[in-house]
């Protein structure tokens, strides 16, 4: 891109990092924003300057970027998380748990597709509560797979996930949901 607006691209980068929620590979950022690595650097620097007066910052780690709260707000964040852990699970959190239990191990993208909404913040809350586990996806670098935690299974009074009501029926139903809308259903 020979001619681009650094200010506009920095706003797009901020929106992308916010929506993505987790660390995002720099290569993906460049592809989505249609920037080369040389073009991304001034955009990243511009965003860092814009964020200096706010409560957020950017972490760059192992070829990825993430929008995070500044460390000076750690006490407030801890208080919010502690308070949140004491609250009842929302219907969205329960829905996410059901998808994870019946389809796991499952990627965030698949959870989002099944639910029809972004699940990043709910998954983060469930991770903090110890209700789901996250492990690297062996098929995709910088992606994770989610499963119900041992603590969740124990809390539900189960000895294994397969003991969930109508486990096989719902697992089969959810497995037929295609993540790519152009995929066709098998003929019956």
Q: Write the pLDDT tens digit of every residue in 17-68.
A: 988 877 889 999 999 999 999 999 999 999 999 999 988 889 888 788 988 8
Residues 86-95 have pLDDT tens digits of 667 889 999 9
Mean pLDDT of 74-87: 70
Ordered by where they begin, the domains of the chain are 6-71 (1.10.10.10), 88-175 (1.10.10.10)
Q: Are 121 and 21 in contact (CB under 8 A)?
A: yes
**Is 100's pLDDT higher than 70?**
yes
pLDDT at 78: 75
How far apart, in whole angstroms, are the C-alpha atoms of residue 40 and residue 47?
11
pLDDT at 150: 85
On average, the pLDDT of the chain sits at 84
Higher pLDDT, residue 129 or 21: 129
Q: Please give the model's pTM, rounded to 2 decimal places.
A: 0.54
Higher pLDDT, residue 3 or 1: 3
**Is 129's pLDDT higher than 50?**
yes
**Is 169's pLDDT higher than 70?**
yes
pLDDT at 74: 80
Q: What angle do CA 112, 113, 114 make, to 5 degrees?
A: 95
How far apart, in whole angstroms, are the C-alpha atoms of residue 179 and residue 32?
20
- Burial class of residue 28 (count of CB atoms within 10 Å of its CB; 0-12, 13-18, 19+): middle
């Amino acid at each position: 891109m020979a001619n681009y607006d650094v200010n506009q691209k920095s706003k797009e980068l901020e929106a992308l990092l916010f929506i993505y929620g987790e660390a995002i590979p720099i290569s993906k950022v460049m592809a989505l924003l249609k920037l080369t690595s040389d073009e991304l650097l001034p955009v990243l620097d511009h965003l860092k300057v814009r964020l200096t007066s706010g409560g957020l910052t950017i972490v760059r780690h192992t070829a990825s970027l993430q929008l995070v709260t500044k460390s000076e707000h750690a006490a407030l964040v801890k208080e919010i998380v502690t308070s949140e852990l004491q609250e009842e699970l929302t219907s969205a959190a329960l829905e996410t748990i059901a998808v994870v239990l019946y389809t796991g191990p499952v990627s965030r993208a698949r959870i989002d597709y099944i639910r029809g909404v972004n699940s990043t913040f709910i998954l983060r809350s469930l991770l903090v509560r110890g209700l789901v586990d996250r492990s690297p996806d062996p098929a995709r670098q910088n992606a994770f797979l989610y499963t119900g935690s041992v603590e969740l299974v124990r809390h539900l009074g189960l000895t294994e996930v397969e003991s969930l009501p109508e486990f096989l029926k719902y697992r089969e139903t959810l497995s037929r949901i295609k993540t790519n809308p152009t995929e066709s259903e098998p003929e019956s």
